[in-house]
Structure 1
Amino acid sequence: MRRTPLGTAAVALTVLLSGCASLQSSATEVGGVRMTDERPVRDGGTLTVALNSDPDKLDPSLAQTLVGRTVFAGMCEKLYDIDQDGTIVPQLATALPDVSADGLTVTVRVRRDARFSDGTRLDADAVVGSLLRHRDLPGSARATELAPLERAEATGPDTVRITLKQPYVPLTGVLADRSGMVMSPAALRTYGKDFTNNPSCVGPFRFVERVGGDRIVLRKDPRYYDADRVHLDRVIYRPIPDGTVRLANLRSGDIQVGDQMAPVDVRGALTEPKLQVFNSPSLGYQGIGLNVGNVKGLGEKPGPIDTPLARDVRVREAFALSLDRELINKVVFQGMYEPACGPISPGSAIAPGVRPEQCPKRDAERAGQLLAEAGVKTPVRMELKVSTTPESGRLGQVVQAMAKEAGFAVTLRPTEYATLLEETDNGAYDAFTSGWSGRLDPDGNIASFLRTQGAMNAYGLSDPRIDELIARGRTEADLRERASIYEELTRRVNAEHALVYVYRQKNYAVAGKGVAGLRIYGDGLVRVSTAGYVQ
């Protein structure tokens, strides 16, 4: 879904601009489910990874999907990354940022031994160019994340100085995701808007080809600074939306790794002696987005929409009250996920997210009363766009049945994933299944989606109080005060019901027992840089 198509583990989380972030699992393996595989591997071979949908643009500035982030993990490194414990660590940077006492100047030093896949050397100028492109490129999904960046400049061959408009606490976490990916300046000059079809970054593998809807092929990059630790010759990513088909291909050996496996398929894999299951805890959420003001597309000024859902918050609240989150988890996900009713994971140490047991209970009677108070004709007709995966279809059917009892007539519109993203970005929808894989800092789950004209605010939500709280959360370094801000922000967001949070998934991946060296951390990405076949 969006833009995913992570738990039983204990979570500890602390984020400061000049410090680090932590997401810790109580164990590497629990109940036969693991996050890493440390068995020794041999060199050579091709690994085929099945994704649950076709990634969107392979351009770090424009990309929005979790499946795309998984592909980027193989070919586009970032200034920072997270490790097995969820701690932010340097990747293309050599150390965590140096921050001035006033929080307005941030200095990042970058590696001097790295080259892009096209042979261009990584330097501070390349970092500056990528940061400014992420911020300024029309349609950039990174624009909101990097909006506080006033200026970036190279003060030496390996030193970048970032000047901020105001202190920006989430910056280190932001640079541990796509905003921290550095692109070859030569490739950007050569390909411009077509960079998505010719991506060139620093990474263990380089891009070879993409056949839409069929495969993305990467090959080991001999120029990679740590190439001696890369074992595979090639990695192939194949979109296979049907989890049953993914599992069948895993059993036959046609694919070796299945990403984002559905609970029903995970249960099947746990009984297979030739398969192993990986799991990582979640920082994200899944829910249903409602169009309350998206009339001209992402980044444009919101406007009025003549639907009951958009006109009256009571209608949206009624829809939210029609949903039984616990039952949805049991019926659709076999109890392997958990109910959610807010943007922040309950395990966050920055701001305590709403725990599953605190979520509102279904109240169809109250929903009916709200519709009567709103004076709308019942049943309220609405179209819900769902992706074409079987799991998304089952979710849609359960939502349809529950909403019907509360006075809604929901029509399901199964839509191919890339098309669903395009249509919802453009505002061509009533409601859609909306989700996010999650970020370490709560700002990463909120600002781009719920701030007025945010880079991924497909809902058209515009609330001055929400905007004010987002701005305060970004600049407040005191952890207690930040927690208070995000608690209030969660209440305010939930009162708008533009994004109805429904469940928080766990990220499951299944691999053949012959595959080792995989890494699946708290961000939900399947990392293949050290993967291979057992010796």
Structure 2
Amino acid sequence: MGVFSRRVGLLAVLSAGLLAAPAVAQTQAPVRGGTLSIGVESDFEGFDPVKAGVYSNSTVTAASLFYETLMRLDDKGGLLPALALSMTPNEDGSIWVAKLRAGVKFHDGSPFTAQSVADHFNRLLDPNNRFAGRAYVAIEKVEVGDELTAVFKMRGPNAALPRTLAQPSVFSLIISVKALQEKGADYNRNPVGTGPFVFKEWRAADRLIAERNPNYWDKDRPYLDRVIVRPLPDSDARYASLVKGDVQVIWEDRAENIVKAKKDKNLITLHWVGSGALVVPLNTQREPLNDKRVRQAISMGLNRKGNAAILSQGLRPVYDDPYGPASGIACADTGALPYDPERAKKLLADYGKPVKLVQTVTATPRGRENAQVFQADMKKIGIDVEIKPVDQTQLVKETLSRDFLVSGWRIIDLADVDPQMFANFHSKSPINFSGYNNAEVDRLLLIGRTSLDENKRKAAYCDLIKILNDDVVWLWTGSNIDFAITRSNVRGIPALRGGAVQVEAAWLAK
């Protein structure tokens, strides 16, 4: 149990303490009061995780105002207490015991207890609710030990649980099931949590308004009186709003704007290099992509690294796996196919039929640019590509329902690679929207999920990536680096894990 003990030993002794330090160094004490406006990429899926199914980074930004996780991560990936003071495993990691913080209340005044934790997670795990996100974790059920003790029973040994639950996501952000039962269908637009801010208003496609929670368990926070989150799908318009001062923070991924921001003395650029990747998923269940020759031709015909260098102006290097440097997984051989247009043409000739594809992308400058580059590269090897721009909500809906041939997607940054890899590539996962089915991949994913030996886990993920790259299930087109740009007086925003802008500790300097 040596590796496992070293990995989780700290968890057993965690106690109440400071929250994550801000990414920008503070030179003065935090200032209370004020309104912070955040510009995000898309409107929100809603705040009932069962109905939403998936949270975009825009929704996680909003949901994190109202909901919280059991543990938190600091900017270096260390675990910190939040709603739970500690999470402690049994001998083999098949059971985890969470000791909860006393005195926490939901926004409606109801007490936060172990029953609240059990109700939240068991609702998501109930197969009758058809919650796609249950593929992200290997929890069998959550039981109540006592009022402030929640017991997580796993499907097998699992070393990743505390870190998985520490990062805000559609699964880990805890809602009030009691309030949901009382509000019924209205809850999706009227969230109730334990978080630093209380929901006030949501005007669809315009803005969401939250106000300071006067009864928040951390009496020193939040510092802000109000937060407004505004969906601004056009990245140039979003950046212009920041420059004008209409918003004080934006999530950004357009290289031109990031480069400009770095030269503007009135702006501060934040970034986080995480796991995950920008990807082009292929639907392996539909012709012509159900033929491996076609998929390999696409891979060898797409100049991934050259295109990324131009489109991202060097901001996003391309790796041959979705693990990222922060994961600690470095594979000597990823099995990545080379850029080789001539070999791609030979594979298509061997396939012997014309290949026409439709690529679904977000109707944003970034989406169109990436699609046009893909279209141009495919034309060089004899593949016709029709570009289908849709809004992000529609893209998510069509992709998750496998109503696509080629899509645009992003494996979000998570503290451990297990949830995303298992969810996206295990044959039984409801989020395996490429329809990929490979028994050896399933076996390797189970090792990654259940093994307590970190070396075995890393070896399994390296063997896994060689298979995925050879079968060309997804194309890795950019590293997962999240950027936010703020006005120069914004302080206290932590690492942008998962692309979420979290403002529990944010404040506005005078």
Mapping 1:367-446, distance limit 5 Å: 367-377=344-354, 380-446=355-421
Q: Tell me what 2:15 maps to.
A: none
Asked if 2 retains the 8 angstrom alpha-carbon contact of 1:329 and 1:337, the reply is yes
- Of 58, 66, 90, the residue aligned with 1:67 is 58
Provide the residue aligned with 1:76 in structure 2: 67
Contact preservation (8 Å) 2:413, 2:480: no
Cα offset for 1:109?
A: 0.8
The question of whether the paired residues in 2 share the 8 Å contact of 1:57 and 1:63 is answered with no
Deviates more, 1:358-367 or 1:62-71: 358-367
The percent identity for this pair of structures is 27
Deviates most, 440-449 or 381-390: 440-449
For residue 194 of structure 1, report the CA deviation from its aligned partner. Answer: 4.1
Name the residue aligned to 1:257. Answer: 249
Q: Can you list the C-alpha shifts for 1:204-225, whole angstroms capped at 9, x where unaligned?
A: 1112221221111111111211
Distance in 2 (alpha carbons) for counterparts of 1:329 and 1:493:
21
Q: Distance in 2 between matches of 1:187 and 1:522?
A: 28
> Shift in Å at residue 489 of structure 1?
1.0
1:219/1:235 contact within 8 Å kept: yes
Match of 1:526 in 2: 501
Identify the structure with the greater helix proportion. Answer: 2
Matched residue, 1:134: 124
* 1:41-440 correspondence runs (5 A): 41-61=30-50, 62-95=53-86, 97-136=87-126, 138-146=129-137, 148-177=138-167, 178=169, 179-293=171-285, 305=286, 307-310=287-290, 312-349=291-328, 351-352=329-330, 360-377=337-354, 380-440=355-415
Distance in 2 between the 1:84 and 1:221 partners? 24
Deviations 1:46-105 (A, max 9, x none): 11100022232323453331221122222211001111211122211011x221113222
Q: Which runs of 5+ in 1 are unaligned?
A: 1-13, 21-27, 294-304
Structure 1 445/354 Cα, relative in aligned 2: closer, same or farther at 3 Å? farther
Deviation string for 1:370-420 (max 9, x for gaps)? 11222222xx10000110110111111111101111121011011111011
Superposition RMSD on alpha carbons, in Å? 2.3
3-state DSSP class of the match of 2:476? strand
1:479 aligns with 2:460: no
Deviation at 1:15, TM superposition (A): 9.3
One-letter amino acid matched to 2:284: V
Secondary structure of the 1:507 match is: strand
Preserved contact between residue 336 and residue 466 of structure 2 (Cα < 8 Å): no
Q: Matched residue of 1:291: which SS?
A: coil
Is the 1:342–1:354 contact (alpha carbons within 8 Å) kept by the matching residues of 2? no
Deviation, structure 1 residue 425: 1.5
Do the aligned partners of residues 118 and 202 (structure 1) sit closer, same or farther apart at CA in structure 2, a change above 3 Å counting? same
Once the two structures are TM-superposed, the CA of residue 484 in structure 1 deviates from its matched residue by: 0.8
Confirm or deny: 8 A CA contact 2:105 2:111 kept in the other structure.
yes
Q: Distance in 1 between matches of 2:283 and 2:179?
A: 37
Cα pair 2:57 2:498 within 8 Å, conserved: no
Structure 2 equivalent of residue 302 of structure 1: none
Report the CA distance between 1:496 and its aligned residue: 2.2
Question: How much does 1:526 deviate?
Answer: 1.6
Indicate if the aligned counterparts of 1:126 and 1:184 stay in contact, CA closer than 8 A: yes
Q: Contact 2:336–2:469 (CA<8 Å) still a contact in 1? A: no
> Residue 402 of structure 1 aligns to a residue in which SS?
helix
Q: Deviations over 1:304-361 (max 9, x none)?
A: x3x1112x11101111111112211122111110113222113422x225799x9543
Q: Distance in 2 between matches of 1:283 and 1:354?
A: 18
Which residue of 435, 439, 448 corresponds with 1:464?
A: 439
Q: Secondary structure at the match of 2:134?
A: coil
Change (3 A) 1:15 1:275: farther
Is the CA contact (8 Å cut-off) linking 1:64 and 1:141 kept in structure 2? no
For residues 242-266 of structure 1, the C-alpha deviation after alignment (integer angstroms, 9 at most, x for no partner) is 2211221111111110113422101
Q: Which amino acid aligns with 1:75?
A: F
Question: Distance between the aligned counterparts of 2:422 and 2:453, measured in 1?
Answer: 19
Check conservation: 2:23, 2:492, Cα contact below 8 A: no
CA distances 1:430-480 after superposition (whole Å, capped 9, x unpaired): 111111222121212201111113132221112111111111211111111
Q: Look up the equivalent residue of 1:247 and give its one-letter code.
A: Y
The separation in 1 between residues aligned to 2:479 and 2:250, in whole angstroms, is 20
**Alpha-carbon distance in 2 for matches of 1:367, 1:278:** 39
Report the residue type matching 2:405 in the other structure: D
The number of equivalent residue pairs is 492
CA distance in 2: counterparts of 1:330 and 1:417, whole angstroms: 24
Structure 2 Cα separation of the partners of residues 262 and 116 of structure 1: 38
**Counterpart secondary structure, 2:325:** coil
In structure 2, distance between residues paired with 1:495 and 1:400:
22
Distance 1:59 1:198 in 2: 9
**Are 2:32 and 2:223, in contact at CA under 8 Å, matched by a contact in 1?**
yes
1:352 is matched by which residue type in structure 2? Answer: A
Q: What is the identity, as a one-letter code, of the residue corresponding to 1:38?
A: Q
Query: What secondary structure sits across from 1:238 in the alignment?
Result: strand
Q: Structure 1's 36 and 213: CA in aligned 2 closer, same or farther, altered over 3 A?
A: same
Distance of 1:159 and 1:435 partners within structure 2:
35
TM-score, scaled relative to structure 2: 0.91
Q: Secondary structure at the match of 1:143?
A: helix
- Note if contact 1:288-1:434 (Cα within 8 Å) is conserved in structure 2: yes
Would you say the 8 A contact 1:37–1:519 is kept in 2? no
Q: Deviations over 1:23-47 (max 9, x none)?
A: xxxxx99xxxx93342433222111
3-state SS, counterpart of residue 106 of structure 1: strand
> Does the CA contact (< 8 Å) of 2:48 and 2:187 recur in 1?
yes
